[in-house]
Structure 1
Amino acid sequence: MDVGDLSLFTEAAELLKVLAHPIRLCIVKGLIEKGECNVSHMQNCLNAPQSTISQHLQKLRAAGVIEGVRNGLEINYKVRDQKAIALVDVLFKSRT
């Protein structure tokens, strides 16, 4: 790896930044385990207001970590970033 290519480090740092919040980390871990989920289910699991969860989902979506698929009136979210999946796996491997 060429340490002179800062773009690789910048990309990794951005992923770490977006995951570096307890609620976002919990959302990503939950989506990995469940496959996909809607905001109402996340709201019940996290015991957090819908507006808070939506803000965190927007940050994860903007970073390309998750994607939303519309199903009628609801949107189901799923993790699409394989690096995020690998990171969460490393972080919680010993806890499962």
Structure 2
Amino acid sequence: MNNIKITSYKNNIELLKILSHPDRMQIVVALMQHTILNVTEFVNMLQIPQAAVSQHLSRMRGNILCSEKKGPEVYYYLSNSKAPKIIEVLLSNNK
């Protein structure tokens, strides 16, 4: 197997690991609906502690999310087009 395929498999596996937590899936769904959100908005929407939200966002940054600082706030948005597609497939199978 060539190195490109191995790298692609590893990247896809890492993406699935990140999405394997329910809170991280909810973060992706929230961003699918609202495009860009800050930590406070995630805390209010998801009803989970700020520390937990920050840890999840940190884990997701670089693989699924990008961030942008605007004044004192950091805003997050989806940077990986595969993540929403995976979520859509999973949610469509629950109907």
Same fold (TM over 0.5): yes
Q: Deviations over 1:57-83 (max 9, x none)?
A: 000004x20011111111111101011
Partner Cα distance (2:30, 2:94) in 1: 14
- SS of the residue aligned with 1:81? coil
| Matched letter for residue 85 of structure 2 | A
List aligned pairs for 1:70-81, cutoff 5 A: 70-81=69-80
Question: TM (normalized to structure 2)?
Answer: 0.87
Identity %: 32
Partner of 2:55: 55
**1:79 corresponds to which letter in structure 2?**
L
Tell me the TM-score normalised to structure 1 length: 0.86
List aligned pairs for 1:17-96, cutoff 5 A. Answer: 17-62=17-62, 64-93=63-92
RMSD, matched Cα: 1.6
Residue 94 of structure 1 and its aligned partner are, at CA, apart by 5.7
Task: Give the secondary-structure state (helix, strand or coil) at the position aligned to 1:55.
Answer: helix
**Which secondary structure does the structure 2 equivalent of 1:77 belong to?**
strand
Equivalents in 2 of 1:93, 1:48: separation in Å?
Answer: 25
Q: Which residue of 1 aligns with 2:8?
A: 8
How many Å apart are 1:95 and its aligned residue?
6.2
User: More displaced, 82-91 or 32-41?
Assistant: 82-91
Query: Amino acid of the residue matched to residue 66 of structure 1?
Result: L
1:88 shift after superposition: 1.5
> Deviation at 1:89?
1.8
For residue 28 of structure 1, what is the amino acid of its counterpart?
V
Listed as ranges, the gaps of 5+ residues in structure 1 are: none
Q: Would you say how many aligned residue pairs link Structure 1 and Structure 2?
A: 92
